[in-house]
Amino acid sequence: METSIHHIEIDRKHFEEFFRLYWKRMFSFALKSVGDEDDAKEIVQDVFKSLWERRSYLQLQDAERYLLRSVKLKSLEFLRNKGNKQRHHEVILTGKTEFYEDNQLYYKELKNHLEDAVDSLPKQCKNVYKLSRDEGLTNKEIATNLLITERAVEYHISKALSVIKMRLKKYCNIHIARFLLITFLYF
């Protein structure tokens, strides 16, 4: 018996159904993560907005999993940005602007090196990496989208991480490389 992978077409009807079925759970998760109702609502709204904008080329197999994973990633991104803003305000208030500006330049330079490392990857490897890290797709979803095996996806992600790690080591010490890898690659 042959099983085929079923993709969900995201039309207005499906979109409204997803909203009705998953909004409450997504909101609860975001609220637990960020602790503020308005921020949680905005996070969920951003996820649904992104879903609608990308509906023509997204190939969903499991809408619930995709939406819950997206709200998790958005919540983490929100917390990271909020933490950065608080640190910026504290630094400015304490008058340590020189240290702050040095850190900002260093951070910007390292981020540029990370982007250069990603751009240096072979095309398929870069596509897999970006779908995984930027779009938050699972290995199975990536494999389906690119018509490759999950094992090939794992290989490309592993190769991408190793190339990026090697390129970043040239520009910073091991602790900062670890911090960057954790911050940019796993969230």
pLDDT of 2 reads 40
pLDDT of 80 reads 80
pLDDT of 82 reads 72
pLDDT of 103 reads 58
Q: How far, in Å, CA of 113 to CA of 129, rounded?
A: 16
- Write out residues in the chain with pLDDT < 70, as ranges: 1-8, 83-107, 170-187
pLDDT of 163 reads 86
DSSP secondary structure string for all residues of 17-67 = HHHHHHHHHHHHHHHHHH--HHHHHHHHHHHHHHHHHTTTT--BS-HHHHH
pLDDT of 74 reads 87
pLDDT of 184 reads 52
Name, in order, each residue with C-beta under 8 angstroms of 45's C-beta and a sequence gap of 6 or more.
none
pLDDT of 130 reads 85
DSSP secondary structure string for all residues of 109-159 = HHHHHHHHHHHTS-HHHHHHHHHHHTS---HHHHHHHHT--HHHHHHHHHH
pLDDT of 91 reads 53
